[in-house]
Amino acid sequence: NAILQFVLVALAVFFLVKGLNALHLREEEKKPAHKADPNTALLEEIRDLLKSKR
């Protein structure tokens, strides 16, 4: 009886977490890709210049 209760609770928690993860992933897909920060572009340019000097 205790084993059956444990399995049922484990399955319920598993499907609850699985559903919440699916909702979380769906929300992240809806978010627009964040725009590149001007500082990031500048840092990438500096990185590329340093690479070319090697």
Q: What is the pLDDT of residue 54?
A: 77
Q: What's the pLDDT at 9?
A: 98
Tokens, residue 34: 């964040």
In whole angstroms, what is the distance from residue 30 CA to residue 45 CA?
30
- Quote the domain boundaries for residue 7: 2-53
Give me the pLDDT at residue 53, please: 87
| Beta strands, E only, 1-54 | none
- Token code pair at residue 39: 């500082």
Whether the predicted pLDDT of 6 surpasses 90: yes
Number of domains, the chain:
1
Question: Residue 37 phi/psi, 5° resolution?
Answer: -75, 135
pLDDT at residue 52, rounded to an integer: 93
- Per-residue pLDDT of 10-53, as tens digits, reads 999 999 999 999 998 888 777 766 666 888 889 999 999 999 98
